[in-house]
Amino acid sequence: LADYKQVLAADKEYSSAYYNIGVAYENLEDLSAAVDNYTKFITLVTDDPDGYFKRGNVKIELEDYNSAIQDYNMVIKLDPKYTDAYNNRGVAKRSLLDYKGAIADYDEAIKLEANDGSTYNNRGYAKHLAGDAVGACADFKKSAALGDEDGKANLAELCK
């Protein structure tokens, strides 16, 4: 952290330093400082989806779901095949009780990466919350088959 701050003292426009400081603060669980540094990175590098993605992830941790969705929207605008952005936007929508929107995002993530068990688990959980027990259990089964531990646990607990 000190090294990056020293770099910024010499060059305030060194965008990678802001990104890496954001990562460091995220790891230290200083989430507001992480958001601030990702924002500085984004201000300097407006077309890099990773900055928006990382900031969106921190905003989810801060339970700022609407703002996280805006960041994931920007990621998808910059890179329509950024699978994790669809998945994480689904998490944010599910947290806002928008199960239909969450399921649509998980569907898109699965189209892009069909072998990610965690996405099937996430979609299954959204279906479960939406009252679709059959669809939820099918997703948990697929998630478990792909080796996802949460999918295995949800299959055992919710699909008896």
Average pLDDT over residues 123-150: 98
91 domain residue, yes or no: no
Q: What is the mean pLDDT of residues 61-82?
A: 99
DSSP string, the chain: -HHHHHHHHH-TT-HHHHHHHHHHHHHTT-HHHHHHHHHHHHHH-TT-HHHHHHHHHHHHHTT-HHHHHHHHHHHHHH-TT-HHHHHHHHHHHHHTT-HHHHHHHHHHHHHH-TT-HHHHHHHHHHHHHHT-HHHHHHHHHHHHHTT-HHHHHHHHHH--
pTM of the predicted model, to two decimals? 0.91
Q: Is 145 among the domain residues?
A: yes
Q: What is the pLDDT of residue 3?
A: 64
Residue 27 belongs to a domain: no
**pLDDT band, residue 4 (cuts 50/70/90):** low
Q: What is the pLDDT of residue 9?
A: 63
With respect to residue 119, please indicate whether it lies within any of the assigned structural domains.
yes
Residue 39 lies in a domain: no
pLDDT mean over 68-94? 99
For residue 46, is it within any domain?
no
Average pLDDT over residues 104-124: 98
Identity of the amino acid at 56: G
Whether 153 maps to a domain, the answer reads yes
pLDDT band at 140 (very low <50, low <70, confident <90, very high): very high
What average pLDDT does range 37-50 have in this prediction? 96
How many Cα neighbours within 13 Å face the side chain of 33?
Answer: 11
Domain count for the chain, please give it: 1
| pLDDT value of position 17 | 87
Residue 48 lies in a domain: no
Residue range(s) defining the domain that contains residue 121: 115-160
Return the pLDDT at 85. 99
C-alpha distances (whole Å) from 139 to each of 33, 52, 62, 67, 77 are: 37, 29, 28, 28, 28
Residue indicated by tokens 């929107």: 101
Cα atoms in the Cβ-side hemisphere of radius 13 Å centred on 135:
15
Q: Which of 144, 139, 126 is nearest to 89 (CA)?
A: 126
